[in-house]
């Protein structure tokens, strides 16, 4: 390992304070480093050349790093300074030992699926791709206003699912199954499982239920006229693109994968026990 980029969340004071200690540690092990501050994702960030990335922040910082690291196969060492830590699996109080193991070649990465989404729009000059991006957690198509109902035509591999009247829909990876998808009533899925999870948001009909699909499914969503409701698509809640009626959104697994260091399945279940208080429930019983 010769060079590292440290991505630090500028809104997280503890992460910013720890960045110098991480840089000093790397220097003491003959690894040069460069700081990259994360304050939001406008899709223009260029990742400098490096062998690996360290993120100092919460899961959101890892989501940002995933979009710029995955296309180049650069692994991410995620140190958790956030609240949840479902993705960022390295403790902020104990990052030195696992980082040393990584530098010595004794710690490996796991691969996580990304989603690839695109917005296809018809214009005066024909059909064109208006927007594309990737997401580690989820791609969400939803209304942007209060008390507005979307009408969406949904299909999977050309199999029609019918019209969804709801606040929108979520297509999530297993990694993202603990995020917005879970809040909308979707299942929690082990991140090592290969799948897509489609969940409606506040569906008008009880017949619109979450469904788990095979990972290479092509989900297609057509935005119908929705009585003046404004619509948007978001990628990991960080990149947003406004939609128009008759836009077609396609979502499937991306070709590239995210490489996360020290984020074995045991870290995921440990976060579940901690954040969902499973251990406390078992003790009470």
Q: How many CA atoms lie within 13 A of 129 on its CB side?
A: 6
* DSSP per-residue string spanning 14-45: HHHHHHHHHHHHHHHTT-EEEEEEES---S--
- Whole-number Å distance between alpha carbons of 46 and 207: 44
Q: Is 218 exposed, middle or buried (0-12, 13-18, 19+ CB in 10 A)?
A: middle
Nearest Cα neighbor of 141 from 169, 164, 121 is: 169
Q: Is 236 an active-site residue?
A: no
Residue 192 structure tokens: 């090592």
Contact 220, 154 (CB under 8 A): yes
Of 20, 51, 59, 190, the active-site residue reads 59
For strand 159-166 and strand 231-235, is the pairing parallel, antiparallel, or unpaired? unpaired
Give the helix/strand (H/E) hosting 96.
helix 96-103
Catalytic residues: 59
């Amino acid at each position: 390992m010769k060079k590292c980029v440290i991505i630090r969340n500028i809104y997280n004071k503890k992460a910013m304070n720890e960045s110098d200690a991480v840089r000093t540690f790397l220097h003491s092990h003959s690894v040069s480093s460069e700081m990259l501050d994360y304050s939001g994702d406008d899709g223009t960030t260029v990742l400098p050349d490096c062998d690996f990335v360290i993120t100092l922040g919460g899961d959101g910082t890892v989501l940002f790093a995933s979009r710029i690291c995955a296309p180049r196969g650069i692994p991410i060492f995620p140190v958790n300074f956030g609240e949840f830590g479902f993705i960022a699996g390295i403790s902020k109080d104990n990052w030195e030992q696992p980082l040393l193991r990584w530098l010595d070649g004794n710690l490996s990465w796991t691969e996580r699926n990304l989603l690839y989404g695109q917005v296809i729009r018809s214009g005066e000059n024909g059909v064109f791709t208006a927007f594309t991006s990737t997401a580690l957690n989820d791609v969400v198509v939803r209304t942007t206003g209060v008390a507005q109902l979307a009408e969406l035509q949904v299909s999977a591999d050309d199999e029609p699912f019918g019209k969804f009247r709801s606040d929108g829909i979520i297509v999530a990876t297993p990694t993202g199954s603990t995020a917005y998808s879970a809040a909308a009533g979707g299942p929690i899925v082990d991140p090592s499982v290969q799948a897509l999870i489609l969940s409606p948001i506040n569906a008008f009909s009880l017949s619109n239920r979450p469904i788990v699909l095979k990972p290479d499914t092509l989900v297609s969503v057509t935005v119908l006229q929705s009585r003046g409701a404004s619509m948007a698509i978001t990628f990991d809640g960080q990149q947003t693109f406004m939609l128009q009626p008759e836009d077609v959104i396609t979502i499937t697994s991306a070709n590239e994968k995210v490489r996360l260091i020290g984020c074995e399945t045991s870290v995921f279940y440990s976060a579940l026990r901690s954040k969902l208080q499973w251990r406390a429930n078992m003790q009470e019983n």
